[in-house]
């Protein structure tokens, strides 16, 4: 028998912002397919019109493309097995449900909502698990024909076997056994003609020739129903691989109450796509040899689905920040600067397209700040000192945190101290003597000469300089600041603060 070409898929619903869990499952589907020379496809499951959100579908496309999780087939690309929106495949599902009825594998159920609610109440009172009792399963053909002729509302249900077991042969988890008598006769086709998730999912996976279903472990409980559906149709089932769920720090399923789950949020916060993909790749998977930083291609090349760990990976923003920082350091400086420009513009530090000189200055800022920042947004948030030339010393108020009080008080005192005034004046004279732009090494030398000229400790010399150059008790290294803002702006800042505080 000829081996089938590997085909995997993700099938998100367009019901809001694209979820980080979608990207997580997409990454592992893509890696498995491409590692095995196969195809990764995107299908949109949009049959639940009550939850459909305008614009969500495009956000799914955009988020996956942003992360370079590129699919070979999908609603926006087309493909041999389309259409790839379930809403465009609507007529298929009714036909297949009725095929099962004709085969004796499914049946019409005419039970009213009132009867089903009373059934659930009785089951609850008896301490039984809620489920359909098979009331319409034994209707005669004459009874069915009469009800259909009378226009009675119906659903179509699958005939689950009453005895035996359904075994999921999960690649990661081994055999998972379910007793058939505990699984009720699932609805396949709803009264409004729309398919349930179970029917549409199985029909689409079969027709799209999906060979491996890689999805979150929350779908394990539904898998026996899917296996029985494959049997009812007489189709070969795909291989099932259930990934561990992403978890909050308290081990609960990741949720927006405890973690940002929208991929849009991560993009807006300035995470690199490489950082997000790398972090998601670490969720439940390890290359070994302490290798934690890798590219998407490296992940694919070294991927082995059998090495996925099932412990329930914790979605830790601190770890994500560390991973993203590593990728910002590795990123080509020009590219990182270009990616960070929109954040500078949003903060009001850049207007329009920067000149070559302005871009060069911004690149130097990015190069310095990326070492300690977790996101591009954080680079910008910590860059204000390089752009803002007018400022005053902070003052202590009731809202000031205790740990900041001493620093602020000292900042004010050093400007009144004679040693501080001498340090400012000596440093100013050295800057004035410069006839060309100041490099970082030159700035370091000027600061060292000032320290030696005053003959006091660094705290007494550098703190007053920090006060007049930044207005802050701590922050950017002074040599970096002076080299980036240049001679004229350095002198302007000193003169302004001397005048403001009568130095």
- Sheet strand arrangement including 155-158: 106-109, 155-158, 187-189
What is the token pair recorded at 55?
Answer: 């614009």
What is the token pair recorded at 217?
Answer: 């472990």
Phi, psi of 5 (to 5 degrees): -70, 135
Cα–Cα dist 161/182, whole Å? 10
What is the token pair recorded at 216?
Answer: 């979150």
Task: Tell me if 273 sits within 8 A of 279, measured CB to CB.
Answer: no
Apex 289 CA angle, 288 and 295, nearest 5: 70
Cα–Cα dist 415/498, whole Å? 9
Q: What is the DSSP string of 37-73?
A: T-EEEE-B----TTT--TTHHHHHHHHHHHTT---SB
437-438-440-444 Cα dihedral, nearest 10 degrees: 180
Task: Tell me if 412 sits within 8 A of 394, measured CB to CB.
Answer: no
HSE-CB for 380 with a 13 A CA cutoff: 22
Find the distance separating the first CA and the last CA of the chain, reported in whole Å. Answer: 89
HSE-CB for 52 with a 13 A CA cutoff: 13
Cα–Cα dist 439/435, whole Å? 12
Peptide bond into 102 cis (omega under 30): no
Q: How far is CA 119 from CA 116, 132, 152, in A?
A: 5, 8, 20
What is the 3-state composition of the chain as percent helix, strand, coil, each rounded to the nearest 5? 50, 10, 40
* Residue at token pair 């319409």: 136
What is the token pair recorded at 296?
Answer: 């998407």
Task: Tell me if 416 sits within 8 A of 456, measured CB to CB.
Answer: no
Query: Which one, of 353, 320, 318, lies nearest residue 337 by Cα?
Result: 353
Q: Which residue is catalytic, options 65, 256, 406, 474?
A: 256
Residues 6+ apart with CB under 8 A from 148: 108, 154
Kind and range of the H or E run holding 109: strand 106-109
Determine whether 256 is an active site residue. yes
Query: Which one, of 410, 369, 404, 408, lies nearest residue 386 by Cα?
Result: 369
Hey, which residues are catalytic here? Answer: 256
């Amino acid at each position: 028998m000829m081996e089938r070409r590997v085909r995997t898929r993700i099938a998100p619903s367009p019901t809001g912002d694209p979820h980080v869990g979608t990207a997580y499952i997409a990454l592992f589907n893509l890696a498995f397919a491409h590692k095995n020379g196969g195809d990764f496809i995107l299908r949109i499951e949009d049959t639940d019109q009550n939850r459909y959100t305008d614009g969500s579908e495009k956000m799914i496309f955009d988020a996956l493309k942003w992360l370079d999780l590129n699919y070979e087939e999908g609603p926006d690309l087309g493909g041999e097995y389309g259409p790839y929106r379930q809403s465009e495949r609507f007529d298929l599902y009714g036909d297949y449900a009725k095929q099962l009825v004709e085969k004796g594998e499914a049946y019409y159920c005419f039970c009213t909502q009132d009867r089903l609610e009373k059934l659930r109440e009785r089951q609850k009172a008896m301490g039984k698990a809620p489920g359909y009792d098979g009331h319409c399963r034994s209707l005669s053909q004459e009874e069915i024909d009469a009800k259909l002729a009378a226009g009675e509302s119906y659903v179509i249900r699958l005939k689950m076997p009453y005895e035996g077991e359904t075994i999921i042969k999960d690649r990661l988890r081994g055999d998972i056994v379910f007793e058939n008598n505990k699984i009720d006769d699932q609805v396949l086709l709803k009264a409004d003609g729309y398919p349930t998730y179970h029917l549409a999912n199985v029909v689409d996976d079969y027709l799209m020739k999906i060979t491996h279903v890689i999805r979150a472990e929350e779908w394990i409980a539904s898998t026996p129903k899917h296996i029985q559906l494959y049997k009812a149709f007489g189709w070969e089932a795909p291989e099932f691989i259930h990934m561990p769920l992403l978890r909050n720090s308290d081990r609960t399923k990741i949720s927006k109450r405890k973690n940002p789950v929208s991929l849009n949020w991560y993009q807006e916060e300035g995470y690199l796509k490489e950082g997000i993909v790398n972090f998601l790749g670490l969720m439940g998977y390890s290359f070994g040899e302490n290798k934690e930083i890798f590219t998407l291609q490296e992940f694919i090349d070294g991927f082995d689905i059998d090495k996925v760990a099932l412990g329930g990976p914790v979605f830790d923003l601190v770890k994500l920040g560390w991973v993203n920082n590593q990728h910002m350091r590795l990123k080509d400086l020009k590219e990182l600067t270009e990616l960070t420009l929109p954040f500078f513009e949003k903060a009001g530090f850049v207007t329009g397209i920067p000149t070559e000189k302005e871009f060069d200055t911004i690149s130097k800022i990015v190069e310095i700040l990326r070492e300690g920042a977790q996101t591009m947004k954080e680079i910008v948030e910590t860059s204000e000192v390089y752009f803002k030339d007018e400022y005053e010393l902070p003052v202590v108020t009731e809202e000031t945190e205790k740990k900041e009080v001493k620093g602020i008080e000292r900042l004010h005192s050093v400007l009144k101290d004679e040693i501080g005034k001498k340090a400012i004046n000596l440093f100013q004279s050295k800057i004035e003597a410069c006839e060309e732009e100041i490099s970082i090494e030159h700035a370091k030398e000027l600061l060292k000469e000032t320290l030696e000229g005053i003959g006091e400790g660094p705290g007494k010399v550098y703190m007053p300089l920090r006060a007049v150059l930044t207005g802050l008790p701590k922050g950017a290294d002074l040599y970096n600041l002076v080299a980036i803002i240049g001679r004229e702006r350095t002198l302007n800042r000193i003169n302004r603060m001397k005048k403001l505080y009568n130095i």
